[in-house]
Amino acid sequence: METLDQCKIRAKKLAMEMTLEEKTTQLRYISPAIQRLGIPAYNWWNEALHGVARAGVATSFPQAIGLASIFDEAFMEKIADAISTEGRAKYNESIRKEDRDIYKGLTFWCPNINIFRDPRWGRGHETFGEDPFLTARLGVSYIRGIQGDKEYLKAAACAKHFAVHSGPEQGRHEFNSIVSKKDLYETYLPAFEAAVKEAKVEGVMGAYNRTNGEPCCGSNTLLREILRGQWGFDGYIVSDCGAIADFHEHHRVTSTAEESAAMALSAGCDLNCGNIYLYVWKAVQDGLITEEQVTSAVEHLLTTRFRLGMFDQTEFDTIPYEVVECKEHLALSEEAARKSMVLLKNNGILPLKKEELKTIGVIGPNANSRDALKANYFGTSSRYITALEGIQDEAGENIRVLYSEGSQLIRSTAEGGALPNDRLKEALSVAERSDVVILCMGLDASLEGEEGDASNEYCAGDRMSLSLPKAQLDLIEAIAGLHKPTILCNMVGSATDLRFAHEHFDAVLQVWYPGARGGKALADLLFGHCSPSGKLPVTFYHSVDDLPDFTDYAMKDRTYRYMTKEAFYPFGFGLTYSQVMCKEAKILGTIEPDQEIELQVKVENIGDFDTEEVIEVYIKVEELAYAVPNYSLCGFKRVSLKKGEEKEVIIRIPYSSLEVVDENGERRVDSGKFTLYSGLCQPDSRSVSLYGQKPLELNMTVSL
Bridge partners of residue 620, in order along the sequence: 675
Length of the chain: 704
**Counts of helices then strands in the chain (DSSP H, E):** 20, 23
HEC letters along 418-461: CCCCCCHHHHHHHHHCCCEEEEEEECCCCCCCCCCCCCCCCCCC
Residue 568: φ, ψ to 5°: -85, -55
CA-based Rg of the chain, rounded to a whole angstrom?
26
Which one of 131, 299, 448, 612 is the catalytic residue? 448
Write the burial class of residue 618 (CB in 10 Å: 0-12 exposed, 13-18 middle, 19+ buried).
buried
The whole-angstrom separation of Cα 102 and Cα 58 is: 16
Nearest C-alpha neighbor of 208 from the set 183, 173, 234: 173
pLDDT surpassing 90 at residue 208: yes
Q: What is the per-residue pLDDT for 457? A: 63
Which spans in 286-422 are helix H?
291-307, 327-340, 371-374, 387-395
CA atoms within 13 A on the CB side of 420: 8
The whole-angstrom separation of Cα 649 and Cα 600 is: 6
pLDDT digits (tens, 9 = 90+) for 483-540: 999 999 999 999 999 999 999 999 999 999 999 999 999 999 999 999 999 999 999 9
Three-class SS of residue 638? Answer: strand
Residue 563: φ, ψ to 5°: -70, 145
Nearest C-alpha neighbor of 513 from the set 383, 340, 325: 340
The whole-angstrom separation of Cα 630 and Cα 570 is: 13
Q: Which helix (H) or strand (E) holds 400?
A: strand 400-404
The whole-angstrom separation of Cα 477 and Cα 268 is: 54
Three-class SS of residue 603? Answer: strand
pLDDT surpassing 70 at residue 458: no
The whole-angstrom separation of Cα 685 and Cα 420 is: 42
Q: What is the per-residue pLDDT for 452? A: 85
pLDDT surpassing 80 at residue 5: yes
Residue 658: φ, ψ to 5°: -80, -10
Q: Is the dihedral of CA 477, 479, 485, 490 positive or negative?
A: negative
Q: What is the per-residue pLDDT for 454? A: 82
pLDDT surpassing 60 at residue 252: yes
pLDDT surpassing 90 at residue 195: yes
Q: What is the per-residue pLDDT for 180? A: 98
Instruction: Identify the DSSP state of 62.
Output: P
pLDDT surpassing 80 at residue 2: no
* Alpha-carbon separation of residue 377 from 65, 104, 495 (angstroms): 13, 14, 20
Nearest C-alpha neighbor of 598 from the set 585, 615, 607: 585
Q: Which of 1-5, 294-298, 516-520 has the lowest average pLDDT?
A: 1-5
Q: What is the per-residue pLDDT for 42? A: 98
Mean pLDDT value of segment 220-235 = 98
Three-class SS of residue 162? Answer: strand
Three-class SS of residue 158? Answer: strand
Question: 332 with 51: CB under 8 angstroms?
Answer: no
> In the annotation, is 448 catalytic?
yes
Mean pLDDT value of segment 85-107 = 98
pLDDT digits (tens, 9 = 90+) for 636-663: 999 999 999 999 999 999 999 999 999 9
Question: What is the pTM (predicted TM-score) of this model?
Answer: 0.98
Burial 307-342 (b: 16+ CB within 10 A, else e): bbbbeeebebeebeeebbbbeebbebbbbbbbbbbb
Burial 179-213 (b: 16+ CB within 10 A, else e): bbebbbbbbbbbbbbbbbeebbbbbbbbbbbbbbe
Mean pLDDT value of segment 56-72 = 98
Three-class SS of residue 380? Answer: strand
pLDDT surpassing 60 at residue 347: yes
Residue 603: φ, ψ to 5°: -125, 150
pLDDT digits (tens, 9 = 90+) for 399-432: 999 999 999 999 999 999 999 999 999 999 999 9
Q: What domains are there in the chain, each with its CATH number?
A: 4-322 (3.20.20.300), 336-562 (3.40.50.1700), 580-701 (2.60.40.10)
Provide the residue type at 79 as one letter: I
Q: What is the mean pLDDT of the chain?
A: 97
pLDDT digits (tens, 9 = 90+) for 554-593: 999 999 999 999 999 999 999 999 999 999 999 999 999 9
Mean pLDDT value of segment 599-616 = 98
Q: What is the per-residue pLDDT for 623? A: 86
The whole-angstrom separation of Cα 271 and Cα 248 is: 18
What percent of the chain has a predicted confidence (pLDDT) above 90?
97
Sequential DSSP letters for 550-589: TT----TT-HHHH--SPPSB-TT--B-SS-EEEEEEEEES
Provide the residue type at 625 as one letter: A
pLDDT digits (tens, 9 = 90+) for 349-386: 999 999 999 999 999 999 999 999 999 999 999 999 99
Which one of 47, 240, 394, 524 is the catalytic residue? 240
pLDDT surpassing 80 at residue 1: no
Q: What is the per-residue pLDDT for 460? A: 84
